[in-house]
Amino acid sequence: MLAIDPRSATPPYEQLRVQVIAQITSGELAGGARLPTVRRLADDLGLAANTVARAYRELEADGFIETRGRGGTLVRAQGDHAQVAVQEAARAYAARVQALGVSAADALRYARAALEG
């Protein structure tokens, strides 16, 4: 179930994006599950179609969902793609660390602090 609170400080598209990710990573939304169309979800949640489309675009860019034209919007095989997305982020982080000349030990310490903080 998705819930959008218009009084929240978090923009609706971000509320939507975070909730879909939470459901995918928790396994509630399995890989291959079909998501509602942009228009249907926008009507259900009282949002502009652009808002839902933006959330879907970002979810697709992060590898959580994929759009297959007439086949609709599907959840991508969840665990693997989340892991892939995190690994890609880690690679980007490592490249940045190296470019800045920061030691690996320090970079790991910063990453652990960020994860645990």
Contact yes or no for 30/76 (Cβ under 8 A): no
Decide if residue 74 touches other proteins (CB under 8 A). Answer: no
Q: Which of 11, 27, 32, 34 binds other proteins (CB under 8 A)?
A: 34
Decide if residue 35 touches other proteins (CB under 8 A). Answer: yes
Distance CA 68, CA 24 (A): 18
Q: Which of 13, 17, 23, 76 binds other proteins (CB under 8 A)?
A: 23
Give the neighbor-by-neighbor strand order of the sheet with 34-35: 34-35, 73-75, 65-67
Q: Which two tokens stand for residue 32?
A: 């291959």
The minimum distance between CB 71 and other proteins, in angstroms, equals 12
Q: Tell me the number of residues near other proteins by CB under 8 A.
A: 26
Q: Are strands 34-35 and 65-67 parallel, antiparallel or unpaired?
A: unpaired
Judged by the rule CB under 8 A, the positions of this chain that interact with other proteins are 1-7, 15, 19-20, 22-23, 26, 28-29, 33-36, 40-41, 43-46, 72
